Amino acid sequence: MAIYMNEPSRTFGEYLLIPGYSSTDCVPTNVSLKTPLVKYKKGTEEPAISLNIPLTSAVMQSVSDDVMAVALAGEGGLSFIYGSQSIETQAEMVARVKSYRAGFVVSDSNISPESTLQDILDLKEKTGHSTVAVTADGTQNGELMGIVTSRDYRVSRMASDTKVKDFMTPIADMVVGDENTTLKEANDIIWEHKLNSLPIVDKNKRLLSMVFRKDYNSHKSNENELIDTSKRYIVGAGINTRDYAERIPALLEAGVDVLCIDSSEGFTEWQKIVIEYVRKTYGDTVKIGAGNVVDAEGFRFLAEAGADFIKVGIGGGAICITREQKGIGRGQATALIDVAQERDKYFEETGVYVPICSDGGIVHDYHITLALAMGADFLMMGRYFARFDESPTKKVNVNGSYMKEYWGEGSARARNWQRYDMGGDKKLSFVEGVDSYVPYAGSLKDNVGLSLSKVKSTMCNCGVLTIPELQENAKITLISSTSIVEGSAHDVLLKDAQL
């Protein structure tokens, strides 16, 4: 006979947090949002990777590319670059993230001496960079001939066909570093000579990289950024259960820090096979998350298979129609509570703490705090990040309002059959996601800062200063439909639209 779960499965919108005692130390500036990303022996060791904020961006074409990864890592979170693309292009995205904040940045604005001022202007419009390296062949590793900055030309006083060699600063008049220059030495040179950038060249004067003053300032003004021991941004990548044996080595070669099996349903032998491949080939040095699951049994299966973290949620995403199409899934809050209880039980039995990621179901900022209180160590969000400048989709005007395109990996547009693969043909038999728009929201930095200020404020209301304290001490109550109405503005005539 089928197993019946007679209790309704709940969503975040059906719960509220009850305030706890707050001491004078409970102020937002004292709150730490640091949280483990991968499994570890809690109490005896530190996680190999931790997040500085509990947010990751979804493994989606319309959300997570290298631009998003750089922006989110800069705030302390992590992006999983989407895997529904060729192995080569995904690896290139990973490599760009890892080189972006190495301190030594591979130059992506390069030109030859025979190019013109117009070529400089076109390149600046394309890249947004005002510093252009001039190399003999115009490539990023060619022999360095000079440099061009906005101080080297005046558009109003120069012909557009003026050769770069006629107005560049030649290498003879430049300060450069050699291949043995350390990052500290490079920054010292920049400060001593009042430079905006320092080219690094090899013994043959070929350009290796650039060190920028702005990167030093940026790091000093944002100590929360998520970086590795070499001061490079940390980045993740999505993989599937089909071409993993070819994709994983390429991603590791590009420098990826953590992998995630991107699948609509994780309680499968396919995922176990992938995890076993990783452990047999790389041992525990390669970190890999798995999912998605919605109950204790699914969590236990992936934990015992060796997953480093486990994603929770099926059918709760804004663009996901899996529940509508297949009748599969569970309310996100109920799924998270069930899995978190099993996670804690697994820890008690083994001493290994396997972080769980809540994936889907976030509508309002306070849902982030609820998800953490219910046991999530971090969240994965798609719609939330798709709204920002840094997402890879177009900003369009729809009926007078700016919107961003947003489509699901199970949509016909994404054609990501691997995510829904059940051993059949290489195609989508039917869609499990939609193609849509979301309201444009501006920059990631501003929005993430606002959302997390609400999280910190709520944690202080609960009398806690860390995520583990929130999970241990939170008081959570179910609310009625009438309570939901009561919680919003009601029985008044609003003067203006509320922000």
Active-site annotation, residues: 320, 419
With a CB cutoff of 8 Å and minimum separation 6, the contacts of 383 are: 317, 318, 319, 362, 406, 438
Strands 356-359 and 352-353, sheet pairing: unpaired
Buried b (16+ CB within 10 A) or exposed e, 27-43: eeeebebebbbbbbeee
Q: How far is CA 328 from the centre of its chain?
A: 27
Q: Taking the CB of residue 111, how many other CB atoms lie within 10 A of it? A: 22
The amino acid occupying position 218 is: S
**Angle at alpha carbon of residue 175, lines to 172 and 176, rounded to 5°:** 100
Q: Taking the CB of residue 171, how many other CB atoms lie within 10 A of it? A: 17
Q: Could you tell me which of 344, 342, 347, 381 has the C-alpha nearest to residue 364?
A: 381
Residue position matching structure tokens 């989709």: 393
Token pair for 499: 């922000």
Q: CB of 73 within 8 A of CB of 233?
A: yes
